[in-house]
Structure 1
Amino acid sequence: MQFPALRIMTRCAAQAVLCLLVLGSQAAVAHESSVAQATGARMTLQATASAEVPLDTVRITLAAETEAADQATASKTLAATLAAAAKEAQGAAGITSHTGNYGIWPSRDQAGKINGWHGRGEIVLESKDFAAASDLATRMNDRVAISGIVFVLSNEARRAQEHKLLSQVAQAFRARALEAAKAFGFAGYRIEQLDLNGAGAMPPVPRPMPMMRMAAKADEVNAPLEGGNVTVSVSVNGTIVLR
Protein backbone atom coordinates (compact mmCIF):
# COMPACT_ATOMS: atom_id res chain seq x y z
CA MET A 1 0.00 0.00 0.00
CA GLN A 2 1.48 3.34 -1.12
CA PHE A 3 1.05 6.44 0.89
CA PRO A 4 -0.24 9.66 -0.74
CA ALA A 5 2.85 11.60 0.24
CA LEU A 6 5.15 9.10 -1.51
CA ARG A 7 3.10 9.28 -4.74
CA ILE A 8 3.32 13.10 -4.69
CA MET A 9 7.10 13.01 -4.25
CA THR A 10 7.52 10.53 -7.11
CA ARG A 11 5.41 12.71 -9.43
CA CYS A 12 7.45 15.81 -8.54
CA ALA A 13 10.72 13.99 -9.19
CA ALA A 14 9.54 12.89 -12.64
CA GLN A 15 8.47 16.42 -13.50
CA ALA A 16 11.85 17.74 -12.36
CA VAL A 17 13.70 15.26 -14.60
CA LEU A 18 11.46 16.24 -17.53
CA CYS A 19 12.18 19.92 -16.93
CA LEU A 20 15.91 19.23 -16.89
CA LEU A 21 15.69 17.33 -20.17
CA VAL A 22 13.72 20.16 -21.82
CA LEU A 23 16.14 22.79 -20.55
CA GLY A 24 19.11 20.72 -21.70
CA SER A 25 17.63 20.32 -25.18
CA GLN A 26 16.91 24.06 -25.41
CA ALA A 27 20.45 24.83 -24.30
CA ALA A 28 21.90 22.49 -26.95
CA VAL A 29 19.78 24.11 -29.66
CA ALA A 30 20.82 27.56 -28.50
CA HIS A 31 24.47 26.50 -28.50
CA GLU A 32 24.25 25.08 -32.01
CA SER A 33 22.56 28.27 -33.19
CA SER A 34 25.24 30.45 -31.66
CA VAL A 35 27.98 28.31 -33.21
CA ALA A 36 26.29 28.54 -36.62
CA GLN A 37 26.02 32.30 -36.30
CA ALA A 38 29.66 32.54 -35.28
CA THR A 39 31.04 30.29 -38.02
CA GLY A 40 28.65 31.30 -40.81
CA ALA A 41 27.85 29.54 -44.06
CA ARG A 42 30.80 28.87 -46.35
CA MET A 43 30.87 29.23 -50.12
CA THR A 44 33.54 28.52 -52.75
CA LEU A 45 33.85 30.98 -55.62
CA GLN A 46 36.05 31.49 -58.68
CA ALA A 47 36.86 34.59 -60.70
CA THR A 48 38.98 34.97 -63.86
CA ALA A 49 40.52 37.89 -65.72
CA SER A 50 42.12 37.51 -69.15
CA ALA A 51 43.63 39.56 -71.96
CA GLU A 52 44.86 39.03 -75.51
CA VAL A 53 48.56 39.81 -75.89
CA PRO A 54 50.82 39.57 -78.93
CA LEU A 55 53.36 36.77 -79.15
CA ASP A 56 56.68 38.57 -78.86
CA THR A 57 59.27 35.90 -79.67
CA VAL A 58 59.95 33.89 -82.82
CA ARG A 59 61.82 30.61 -83.03
CA ILE A 60 63.06 29.60 -86.45
CA THR A 61 64.39 26.10 -86.93
CA LEU A 62 67.02 25.67 -89.64
CA ALA A 63 67.99 22.18 -90.73
CA ALA A 64 70.79 20.59 -92.71
CA GLU A 65 70.75 17.13 -94.25
CA THR A 66 73.51 15.00 -95.68
CA GLU A 67 74.03 11.58 -97.23
CA ALA A 68 77.24 9.59 -97.43
CA ALA A 69 78.46 6.09 -98.07
CA ASP A 70 79.71 5.65 -94.50
CA GLN A 71 78.72 6.90 -91.07
CA ALA A 72 81.94 8.79 -90.37
CA THR A 73 81.70 10.87 -93.53
CA ALA A 74 78.03 11.68 -92.95
CA SER A 75 78.71 12.74 -89.36
CA LYS A 76 81.74 14.84 -90.30
CA THR A 77 79.97 16.63 -93.14
CA LEU A 78 76.89 17.39 -91.07
CA ALA A 79 78.92 18.61 -88.09
CA ALA A 80 80.92 20.96 -90.31
CA THR A 81 77.77 22.42 -91.86
CA LEU A 82 76.12 23.01 -88.49
CA ALA A 83 79.29 24.49 -86.99
CA ALA A 84 79.54 27.05 -89.80
CA ALA A 85 75.86 27.94 -89.43
CA ALA A 86 76.15 28.24 -85.64
CA LYS A 87 79.17 30.53 -85.97
CA GLU A 88 77.27 32.86 -88.27
CA ALA A 89 74.23 32.89 -85.95
CA GLN A 90 76.30 33.68 -82.85
CA GLY A 91 77.45 36.98 -84.32
CA ALA A 92 73.94 38.37 -84.86
CA ALA A 93 72.81 41.10 -82.45
CA GLY A 94 69.56 40.48 -80.59
CA ILE A 95 69.35 36.86 -81.69
CA THR A 96 70.16 33.79 -79.62
CA SER A 97 70.82 30.38 -81.11
CA HIS A 98 71.28 26.79 -80.02
CA THR A 99 71.51 23.38 -81.60
CA GLY A 100 68.35 21.39 -82.02
CA ASN A 101 67.73 17.77 -82.99
CA TYR A 102 70.68 15.84 -84.39
CA GLY A 103 70.81 12.33 -85.80
CA ILE A 104 72.75 9.95 -88.06
CA TRP A 105 71.07 6.76 -89.25
CA PRO A 106 71.59 4.11 -91.94
CA SER A 107 69.57 3.66 -95.08
CA ARG A 108 68.93 0.13 -96.30
CA ASP A 109 68.15 -1.57 -99.55
CA GLN A 110 65.29 -3.97 -100.16
CA ALA A 111 67.32 -6.83 -98.75
CA GLY A 112 67.88 -4.94 -95.52
CA LYS A 113 71.54 -4.30 -96.16
CA ILE A 114 73.01 -0.89 -95.27
CA ASN A 115 73.74 0.99 -98.47
CA GLY A 116 74.43 4.45 -97.08
CA TRP A 117 74.05 6.86 -94.19
CA HIS A 118 71.76 9.81 -93.72
CA GLY A 119 72.15 12.69 -91.28
CA ARG A 120 70.04 15.62 -90.17
CA GLY A 121 70.79 18.40 -87.69
CA GLU A 122 69.14 21.66 -86.60
CA ILE A 123 70.05 25.17 -85.53
CA VAL A 124 67.33 27.13 -83.70
CA LEU A 125 67.23 30.93 -83.83
CA GLU A 126 65.26 32.86 -81.20
CA SER A 127 64.59 36.59 -81.15
CA LYS A 128 62.06 39.29 -80.34
CA ASP A 129 63.14 41.11 -83.50
CA PHE A 130 61.14 39.28 -86.14
CA ALA A 131 62.71 41.16 -89.05
CA ALA A 132 66.25 40.49 -87.88
CA ALA A 133 65.54 36.80 -87.32
CA SER A 134 63.94 36.47 -90.74
CA ASP A 135 66.86 38.25 -92.40
CA LEU A 136 69.43 36.04 -90.66
CA ALA A 137 67.54 32.87 -91.54
CA THR A 138 67.47 34.01 -95.16
CA ARG A 139 71.22 34.68 -95.22
CA MET A 140 71.91 31.26 -93.71
CA ASN A 141 69.73 29.52 -96.25
CA ASP A 142 72.72 28.62 -98.40
CA ARG A 143 73.86 26.23 -95.62
CA VAL A 144 70.69 25.30 -93.72
CA ALA A 145 67.07 25.44 -94.81
CA ILE A 146 64.11 26.76 -92.84
CA SER A 147 62.13 23.75 -91.57
CA GLY A 148 59.85 25.28 -88.94
CA ILE A 149 58.68 28.54 -87.37
CA VAL A 150 56.91 28.98 -84.06
CA PHE A 151 55.90 32.08 -82.10
CA VAL A 152 55.84 32.17 -78.30
CA LEU A 153 55.24 34.58 -75.46
CA SER A 154 58.35 35.37 -73.45
CA ASN A 155 58.38 34.83 -69.69
CA GLU A 156 58.90 38.54 -69.10
CA ALA A 157 55.87 39.52 -71.17
CA ARG A 158 53.71 36.85 -69.52
CA ARG A 159 54.66 37.95 -65.99
CA ALA A 160 54.05 41.61 -66.84
CA GLN A 161 50.57 40.82 -68.18
CA GLU A 162 49.70 38.64 -65.19
CA HIS A 163 50.69 41.51 -62.90
CA LYS A 164 48.25 43.80 -64.72
CA LEU A 165 45.48 41.23 -64.39
CA LEU A 166 45.89 40.79 -60.63
CA SER A 167 43.87 43.88 -59.70
CA GLN A 168 41.15 42.94 -62.20
CA VAL A 169 40.72 39.41 -60.87
CA ALA A 170 40.73 40.66 -57.26
CA GLN A 171 37.97 43.16 -58.05
CA ALA A 172 35.97 40.50 -59.90
CA PHE A 173 36.23 38.09 -56.96
CA ARG A 174 35.11 40.70 -54.44
CA ALA A 175 32.14 41.70 -56.60
CA ARG A 176 31.06 38.07 -57.04
CA ALA A 177 31.41 37.37 -53.31
CA LEU A 178 29.24 40.36 -52.40
CA GLU A 179 26.59 39.39 -54.95
CA ALA A 180 26.51 35.84 -53.58
CA ALA A 181 26.18 37.05 -49.99
CA LYS A 182 23.25 39.33 -50.81
CA ALA A 183 21.57 36.66 -52.94
CA PHE A 184 21.39 34.34 -49.93
CA GLY A 185 20.19 37.02 -47.54
CA PHE A 186 23.49 37.94 -45.88
CA ALA A 187 24.79 41.45 -45.39
CA GLY A 188 28.39 40.68 -46.27
CA TYR A 189 31.21 38.17 -46.14
CA ARG A 190 34.78 37.61 -45.09
CA ILE A 191 37.47 35.82 -47.08
CA GLU A 192 38.69 32.62 -45.47
CA GLN A 193 41.03 31.23 -48.15
CA LEU A 194 42.41 32.25 -51.55
CA ASP A 195 44.31 30.32 -54.22
CA LEU A 196 45.76 32.28 -57.15
CA ASN A 197 46.45 30.59 -60.47
CA GLY A 198 48.01 31.94 -63.62
CA ALA A 199 46.97 30.06 -66.74
CA GLY A 200 49.47 32.04 -68.79
CA ALA A 201 50.18 31.15 -72.36
CA MET A 202 50.15 27.51 -73.34
CA PRO A 203 53.42 25.99 -74.57
CA PRO A 204 53.99 26.68 -78.26
CA VAL A 205 52.84 24.20 -80.83
CA PRO A 206 55.33 24.22 -83.72
CA ARG A 207 53.96 24.67 -87.17
CA PRO A 208 55.91 22.17 -89.28
CA MET A 209 56.66 23.20 -92.81
CA PRO A 210 58.27 21.46 -95.78
CA MET A 211 62.04 21.66 -95.98
CA MET A 212 62.79 24.76 -98.06
CA ARG A 213 65.34 24.31 -100.79
CA MET A 214 68.64 26.11 -100.57
CA ALA A 215 68.10 29.46 -102.26
CA ALA A 216 70.58 31.24 -104.47
CA LYS A 217 68.92 34.60 -103.91
CA ALA A 218 68.03 36.01 -100.50
CA ASP A 219 64.67 37.38 -101.58
CA GLU A 220 63.47 33.91 -102.55
CA VAL A 221 62.76 32.98 -98.91
CA ASN A 222 62.73 36.29 -97.05
CA ALA A 223 59.20 37.08 -95.87
CA PRO A 224 57.62 39.19 -93.09
CA LEU A 225 56.72 37.27 -89.92
CA GLU A 226 53.55 37.84 -87.92
CA GLY A 227 53.18 36.17 -84.55
CA GLY A 228 49.50 36.68 -83.76
CA ASN A 229 48.04 36.80 -80.23
CA VAL A 230 47.62 34.53 -77.25
CA THR A 231 45.30 34.68 -74.24
CA VAL A 232 46.86 35.19 -70.82
CA SER A 233 44.57 34.63 -67.86
CA VAL A 234 44.70 34.78 -64.09
CA SER A 235 42.13 33.02 -61.91
CA VAL A 236 41.46 32.96 -58.20
CA ASN A 237 39.64 30.28 -56.24
CA GLY A 238 38.51 31.18 -52.74
CA THR A 239 36.33 30.27 -49.81
CA ILE A 240 34.23 32.98 -48.19
CA VAL A 241 32.18 32.98 -44.98
CA LEU A 242 28.78 34.64 -45.30
CA ARG A 243 27.70 36.81 -42.38
Structure 2
Amino acid sequence: MKAIVHSADTRGHADHGWLNAHHSFSFANYYNPERMNFGALRVLNDDIVSGGMGFGMHPHDNMEIITIPLKGDLEHKDSMGNVGRIKNGEIQVMSAGTGVFHSEYNPNKDRETNLLQIWLFPNKRNVDPRYDQISIEDYRKKNELYQVVSPDAEDQGSWIYQDAWFHLGDFDKGTTREYSLKKEGNGVYLFVIEGNVDVGGQKLGKRDAAGVWETGSVSITAGSDAEFLLMEVPMAV
Protein backbone atom coordinates (compact mmCIF):
# COMPACT_ATOMS: atom_id res chain seq x y z
CA MET A 1 0.00 0.00 0.00
CA LYS A 2 1.18 3.49 -0.82
CA ALA A 3 -0.01 6.55 1.10
CA ILE A 4 0.24 10.33 1.16
CA VAL A 5 -0.95 12.79 3.81
CA HIS A 6 -2.19 16.31 3.08
CA SER A 7 -2.50 18.15 6.39
CA ALA A 8 -4.99 20.99 6.62
CA ASP A 9 -2.32 23.64 7.04
CA THR A 10 -0.60 22.69 3.76
CA ARG A 11 -3.63 23.50 1.63
CA GLY A 12 -3.71 26.51 -0.64
CA HIS A 13 -5.61 29.47 0.81
CA ALA A 14 -7.37 32.46 -0.74
CA ASP A 15 -9.33 35.08 1.21
CA HIS A 16 -11.36 37.25 -1.16
CA GLY A 17 -13.37 38.87 1.61
CA TRP A 18 -16.68 37.38 0.51
CA LEU A 19 -15.02 33.98 -0.09
CA ASN A 20 -12.59 32.20 2.22
CA ALA A 21 -11.31 29.17 0.30
CA HIS A 22 -8.92 26.33 1.04
CA HIS A 23 -7.65 24.24 -1.86
CA SER A 24 -6.44 20.66 -1.40
CA PHE A 25 -5.13 20.72 -4.98
CA SER A 26 -3.81 23.42 -7.30
CA PHE A 27 -6.60 25.82 -8.14
CA ALA A 28 -6.84 29.40 -9.45
CA ASN A 29 -3.86 31.34 -8.04
CA TYR A 30 -2.69 28.42 -5.90
CA TYR A 31 -0.23 26.28 -7.82
CA ASN A 32 1.74 23.38 -6.40
CA PRO A 33 3.16 20.95 -8.98
CA GLU A 34 3.09 18.19 -6.36
CA ARG A 35 -0.59 18.81 -5.61
CA MET A 36 -2.26 18.75 -9.02
CA ASN A 37 -4.64 15.85 -8.43
CA PHE A 38 -5.11 12.46 -6.81
CA GLY A 39 -5.88 10.23 -9.75
CA ALA A 40 -9.20 11.36 -11.20
CA LEU A 41 -9.77 13.72 -8.25
CA ARG A 42 -8.79 17.14 -9.58
CA VAL A 43 -10.30 19.67 -7.15
CA LEU A 44 -11.33 19.61 -3.51
CA ASN A 45 -12.22 23.10 -2.32
CA ASP A 46 -13.40 23.90 1.19
CA ASP A 47 -15.26 27.20 0.68
CA ILE A 48 -16.89 29.61 3.12
CA VAL A 49 -19.18 32.06 1.33
CA SER A 50 -20.37 35.21 3.10
CA GLY A 51 -24.06 35.97 3.44
CA GLY A 52 -25.67 37.16 0.21
CA MET A 53 -22.53 36.56 -1.84
CA GLY A 54 -21.49 33.97 -4.40
CA PHE A 55 -20.05 32.96 -7.74
CA GLY A 56 -21.54 34.64 -10.81
CA MET A 57 -22.27 32.79 -14.05
CA HIS A 58 -19.14 30.95 -15.23
CA PRO A 59 -18.45 28.05 -17.60
CA HIS A 60 -17.34 24.43 -17.15
CA ASP A 61 -16.84 21.58 -19.57
CA ASN A 62 -15.79 17.92 -19.38
CA MET A 63 -15.72 17.75 -15.61
CA GLU A 64 -17.83 15.96 -12.99
CA ILE A 65 -18.69 18.48 -10.26
CA ILE A 66 -20.02 17.42 -6.85
CA THR A 67 -21.11 19.99 -4.26
CA ILE A 68 -21.64 19.01 -0.63
CA PRO A 69 -22.93 21.75 1.72
CA LEU A 70 -21.60 21.40 5.26
CA LYS A 71 -23.38 24.43 6.73
CA GLY A 72 -25.93 26.85 5.34
CA ASP A 73 -27.58 26.94 1.92
CA LEU A 74 -26.41 27.37 -1.66
CA GLU A 75 -28.59 28.53 -4.55
CA HIS A 76 -27.76 27.17 -7.99
CA LYS A 77 -28.78 28.41 -11.45
CA ASP A 78 -27.49 27.08 -14.76
CA SER A 79 -27.79 27.36 -18.52
CA MET A 80 -29.80 24.11 -18.62
CA GLY A 81 -32.64 25.92 -16.87
CA ASN A 82 -32.11 24.35 -13.44
CA VAL A 83 -32.75 26.45 -10.36
CA GLY A 84 -32.32 24.88 -6.97
CA ARG A 85 -31.27 25.42 -3.37
CA ILE A 86 -29.16 22.83 -1.58
CA LYS A 87 -28.37 22.53 2.11
CA ASN A 88 -26.59 20.21 4.51
CA GLY A 89 -28.03 16.73 4.03
CA GLU A 90 -28.18 17.15 0.26
CA ILE A 91 -25.70 16.67 -2.58
CA GLN A 92 -25.57 18.30 -5.98
CA VAL A 93 -23.99 16.67 -9.04
CA MET A 94 -23.34 18.32 -12.39
CA SER A 95 -21.80 16.67 -15.45
CA ALA A 96 -20.44 19.62 -17.41
CA GLY A 97 -19.87 17.58 -20.58
CA THR A 98 -19.97 19.70 -23.76
CA GLY A 99 -20.30 22.85 -21.68
CA VAL A 100 -22.53 24.54 -19.13
CA PHE A 101 -22.71 27.90 -17.34
CA HIS A 102 -23.81 28.11 -13.72
CA SER A 103 -23.87 30.41 -10.71
CA GLU A 104 -23.84 29.65 -7.00
CA TYR A 105 -24.93 32.04 -4.27
CA ASN A 106 -25.47 32.05 -0.53
CA PRO A 107 -29.12 33.17 -0.39
CA ASN A 108 -28.98 33.96 3.35
CA LYS A 109 -27.65 37.43 4.08
CA ASP A 110 -27.36 36.77 7.82
CA ARG A 111 -25.10 33.70 7.83
CA GLU A 112 -22.23 31.98 6.05
CA THR A 113 -22.37 28.91 3.87
CA ASN A 114 -19.62 26.28 4.07
CA LEU A 115 -19.38 23.79 1.23
CA LEU A 116 -17.10 21.25 -0.36
CA GLN A 117 -16.79 21.52 -4.13
CA ILE A 118 -15.19 18.53 -5.81
CA TRP A 119 -14.17 18.07 -9.44
CA LEU A 120 -13.34 14.74 -11.08
CA PHE A 121 -12.03 14.07 -14.57
CA PRO A 122 -14.79 12.14 -16.41
CA ASN A 123 -14.37 8.77 -18.10
CA LYS A 124 -16.54 9.93 -20.99
CA ARG A 125 -16.02 13.26 -22.69
CA ASN A 126 -18.44 15.60 -24.46
CA VAL A 127 -21.60 14.13 -22.96
CA ASP A 128 -24.81 16.14 -22.78
CA PRO A 129 -24.64 18.26 -19.61
CA ARG A 130 -26.79 17.00 -16.74
CA TYR A 131 -27.80 18.15 -13.27
CA ASP A 132 -28.88 16.18 -10.23
CA GLN A 133 -29.78 17.14 -6.67
CA ILE A 134 -30.59 14.55 -4.01
CA SER A 135 -31.28 14.25 -0.30
CA ILE A 136 -28.97 11.83 1.51
CA GLU A 137 -30.90 11.76 4.79
CA ASP A 138 -32.47 8.37 4.02
CA TYR A 139 -29.00 6.88 3.40
CA ARG A 140 -27.37 8.19 6.56
CA LYS A 141 -26.23 5.40 8.90
CA LYS A 142 -24.46 6.13 12.15
CA ASN A 143 -21.10 4.31 12.46
CA GLU A 144 -21.33 2.98 8.91
CA LEU A 145 -19.98 4.14 5.56
CA TYR A 146 -22.96 5.17 3.46
CA GLN A 147 -22.70 5.66 -0.28
CA VAL A 148 -23.79 8.95 -1.86
CA VAL A 149 -22.18 8.86 -5.35
CA SER A 150 -21.37 6.00 -7.73
CA PRO A 151 -21.03 5.28 -11.49
CA ASP A 152 -24.39 3.48 -11.55
CA ALA A 153 -27.65 5.40 -11.99
CA GLU A 154 -29.50 2.45 -10.39
CA ASP A 155 -27.28 2.39 -7.28
CA GLN A 156 -27.68 4.33 -4.03
CA GLY A 157 -27.07 8.06 -4.27
CA SER A 158 -26.37 10.14 -7.35
CA TRP A 159 -24.20 9.03 -10.27
CA ILE A 160 -21.34 10.44 -12.34
CA TYR A 161 -19.39 9.63 -15.50
CA GLN A 162 -16.47 8.06 -13.64
CA ASP A 163 -15.67 4.76 -11.91
CA ALA A 164 -15.73 6.51 -8.55
CA TRP A 165 -17.63 5.90 -5.33
CA PHE A 166 -18.17 8.47 -2.57
CA HIS A 167 -19.10 7.49 0.98
CA LEU A 168 -19.74 9.63 4.04
CA GLY A 169 -19.02 8.51 7.58
CA ASP A 170 -20.37 9.74 10.92
CA PHE A 171 -18.49 7.66 13.49
CA ASP A 172 -18.51 7.58 17.26
CA LYS A 173 -15.09 7.51 18.93
CA GLY A 174 -13.48 4.07 18.68
CA THR A 175 -15.56 2.88 15.70
CA THR A 176 -13.55 0.87 13.16
CA ARG A 177 -14.66 -0.12 9.69
CA GLU A 178 -12.87 -1.73 6.75
CA TYR A 179 -13.48 -0.28 3.30
CA SER A 180 -12.96 -2.63 0.35
CA LEU A 181 -12.17 -0.92 -2.92
CA LYS A 182 -14.65 -1.66 -5.66
CA LYS A 183 -12.34 -1.54 -8.68
CA GLU A 184 -8.75 -2.63 -9.21
CA GLY A 185 -6.42 0.28 -9.90
CA ASN A 186 -8.46 2.70 -7.80
CA GLY A 187 -7.28 4.57 -4.74
CA VAL A 188 -9.01 6.18 -1.77
CA TYR A 189 -8.80 9.81 -0.70
CA LEU A 190 -10.27 10.48 2.75
CA PHE A 191 -11.02 14.03 3.90
CA VAL A 192 -11.82 14.66 7.58
CA ILE A 193 -14.68 17.10 8.05
CA GLU A 194 -14.71 16.99 11.86
CA GLY A 195 -12.79 15.09 14.53
CA ASN A 196 -9.86 12.68 14.32
CA VAL A 197 -9.53 9.61 12.13
CA ASP A 198 -6.87 6.94 11.59
CA VAL A 199 -6.72 5.80 7.96
CA GLY A 200 -4.45 2.87 7.18
CA GLY A 201 -2.18 3.90 10.05
CA GLN A 202 -2.21 7.61 9.16
CA LYS A 203 -3.56 9.83 11.95
CA LEU A 204 -5.63 12.73 10.67
CA GLY A 205 -7.32 15.71 12.30
CA LYS A 206 -9.99 18.15 11.17
CA ARG A 207 -9.62 19.05 7.47
CA ASP A 208 -6.59 16.76 7.08
CA ALA A 209 -6.68 14.25 4.24
CA ALA A 210 -4.87 11.08 3.22
CA GLY A 211 -4.67 9.18 -0.04
CA VAL A 212 -3.96 5.44 -0.20
CA TRP A 213 -3.55 3.25 -3.26
CA GLU A 214 -2.14 -0.08 -4.42
CA THR A 215 -4.31 -1.82 -1.86
CA GLY A 216 -7.58 -3.73 -1.90
CA SER A 217 -8.89 -2.33 1.36
CA VAL A 218 -8.26 0.28 4.01
CA SER A 219 -9.04 0.37 7.72
CA ILE A 220 -10.69 3.47 9.20
CA THR A 221 -10.86 4.15 12.95
CA ALA A 222 -12.37 7.21 14.64
CA GLY A 223 -10.00 8.63 17.27
CA SER A 224 -12.85 10.88 18.41
CA ASP A 225 -16.39 11.45 17.24
CA ALA A 226 -15.73 12.16 13.58
CA GLU A 227 -17.29 13.00 10.22
CA PHE A 228 -15.45 12.37 6.97
CA LEU A 229 -15.77 11.96 3.22
CA LEU A 230 -14.22 8.92 1.53
CA MET A 231 -13.68 9.11 -2.24
CA GLU A 232 -12.61 6.05 -4.23
CA VAL A 233 -11.28 7.18 -7.61
CA PRO A 234 -9.27 5.74 -10.52
CA MET A 235 -5.56 6.46 -10.17
CA ALA A 236 -4.87 6.32 -13.91
CA VAL A 237 -6.40 9.20 -15.88
TM range (shorter): under 0.3
TM-score under structure 2 length normalisation: 0.22
Which of the pair has more CA radius of gyration? 1
- The structure that is strand-richer by fraction is 2
Structure in which a larger fraction of residues adopt helix: 1
Task: Determine which structure has greater relative contact order: mean sequence separation of CA pairs < 8 Å that are 6+ residues apart, divided by chain length.
Answer: 1
TM-score in terms of structure 1 length: 0.21
